[in-house]
Amino acid sequence: MIDMTRPSPVSAELIARFAREAGKRPEQRALRNAVVKNGIQAVALDPQTVVASAYTFSLEIPTGPITHQQQSGRCWMFAGLNVLRVKAAQAMNLKEWEFSQAYPMFWDKMEKANYFLESILETLDEPRDSRVVAWLLANLMQDGGQWDMFVNLIEKYGAVPKSVMPETFHSSQSQVMNRLLNRKLRSDAARLRERHASGVGLSAVRAEKEAMLGDIYQMLTHFLGEPPAAFDWEYRDQDDHFHAERQLTPQAFYARYVGVDLSQYVSLINAPTADKPYGRTYTVQHLGNVIGGRPVRYLNVDAGTLRRLALAQLEDGEPVWFGCDVGQLSDRDSGVMAPELYDYEGVLGVSLDMSKAEQLDYGESLMTHAMVLTGVNLVKGQPNRWKVENSWGPDRGHQGFFVMSDQWFDRYLYQVVVHRKYLPPDLDAAWEREPLILPPWDPMGSLARVF
């Protein structure tokens, strides 16, 4: 008799029983052979779901050519700039136009370096192996970000055309750059903590921190080039009219050609976990980029509210920035995002069922990628699929666009950003309340950075 109250090993008898049971069903043996030879995704893919996911939509917003973040985790930045370029293209009467993505990347790295070093100063009296310090040292310089971090960059540094600060080798392939920046910052963190432990005063330690930031700036100019303080902007519009602006600052360029007040946009999430009641705002400790800038702030609502407000903004002709777990039940080649796309359970003969709350609580899912909603298909006024502008180049999906089923929206979409005017009075009042602070490792502290 087995004592079920004590830990039990994987015994030979247990393995023998599992082997007998696994070989009982002939169809499972056939499926096992197919998976061994072709891989689970090829066997589990439902072609009818791909066929049914039509790239036709009753409502579409015109966009420019698909952008490409290459081998970098700047999806959140590309998505933000893709939302803004609709306004900029209209203002300049241009059909095809693109912001520089290297420009905000430079300042994001610079600001993140300062944010990290300030977090190290804030935790000087914490043991080096405390959970907070360990988290800081494991999650410092990377490409990922959040909507509020994008807003901070635009509000502080403005924006420039891509021709003014084009892509570089390391903006498009950021892994080595990030590794070296991380090494430098970890070295700096060790020096700062050593100086504090030896009794050096905080003002002297801060002076050393500023010198360290100078090194980071120098490294970034090697990787990304030097960002312009001012530039000349010349272009010819769709009516063949020539335009020239001299010595524009990036801030003046943004004000002149975009002018969107980003402070009026709010970040809504759907996190149906027991620890995050709906109708409350949340922020995340040690998550951000610009010291003194806008903190990351979420308002948690149900999925129906998320859908309704995103649809309202689309119907007014404005695209919607959103965050999701793009790796879940989606196909990069076809661009289809649908829960029924892969029948893993049927092929493997096991249950993989989890609720959205369980996926978050148990580490199965979190926000990994940011894209833009640019269209929707309505049936009797209700969405059944959404048009998605991605930043993986024109060779993915349908000429760079993806199609998301409404069921996938419910299950794996976690965040949308909409203008505050769409909030009903109760949610508008909720947005003003002091946010609850989540620990750095909370799933809502994840950054969009998949490429």
Count of other CB atoms within 10 angstroms of residue 82: 25
E-only strand ranges, 280-400: 281-284, 298-300, 320-324, 336-337, 369-379, 382-389
Contacts of residue 422, Cβ cutoff 8 Å, sequence gap at least 6: 309, 312, 313
**Catalytic site includes residue 196:** no
d(CA 67, CA 409): 23
Of the residues 68, 75, 270, 289, which is catalytic?
A: 75
Closest to 429 measured CA to CA, from 313, 299, 311, 271: 299
Closest to 53 measured CA to CA, from 345, 308, 386: 386
CB 89 within 8 A of CB 376: no
What totals of helices (H) and strands (E) does the chain contain, helices first? 17, 13
Of the residues 68, 170, 390, 419, which is catalytic?
A: 390
Of the residues 68, 286, 369, 419, which is catalytic?
A: 369
Q: How far is CA 127 from CA 133, 197, 267, 373, 404, in A?
A: 7, 11, 34, 44, 46
Phi, psi of 384 (to 5 degrees): -120, -15
**Catalytic site includes residue 75:** yes
Q: Apex CA 339: angle with CA 336 and CA 345, to 5°?
A: 125
Whole-number CA gyration radius for the chain: 25
Q: Strands 436-438 and 281-284, how do they pair? A: parallel
Question: Tokens standing for 430?
Answer: 């909720």
Count of residues making up the chain: 451
**Catalytic site includes residue 324:** no
DSSP code, position 99: B
In the block, residue with structure tokens 């129906």: 304
Q: Which amino acid is at 19?
A: A
Residues with catalytic function: 75, 369, 390
